[in-house]
Amino acid sequence: DYLELLSQMILKYDEAQAEEWPNGTVRERLGALVKEAGMSASDLGRLLGNRGLGSALLRGRRELSKAHIRRLSVHFHLSADYFL
């Protein structure tokens, strides 16, 4: 009974989280996060370790690496799934 209740609670939590996440591509979601945080493309790049990287990610010229996803999920307090 306990495990079933826990499983149901986890599923409800995941569904609620998914509803809060905006639709769109990873690039669009990242752009919305950056804008909401008042960051520039350069700020994003500095967060990820390369000032020019932010612009390339937001324009779709580069893809997020695993390391980028880890750093972004910690910085924005989001699950890594948000960036996949």
CA atoms within 13 A on the CB side of 76: 27
User: Which one, of 26, 29, 71, 30, lies nearest residue 48 by Cα?
Assistant: 71
Higher pLDDT, 14 or 78: 78
Place 75 in a pLDDT band, splitting at 50, 70 and 90: very high
Mean per-residue pLDDT, 64-83: 92
pTM of the model: 0.70
Place 21 in a pLDDT band, splitting at 50, 70 and 90: low
CA 36 to chain CA mean position, Å: 13
Question: How many C-beta neighbours within 10 Å does residue 29 have?
Answer: 16
Q: Is the pLDDT of residue 70 over 70?
A: yes
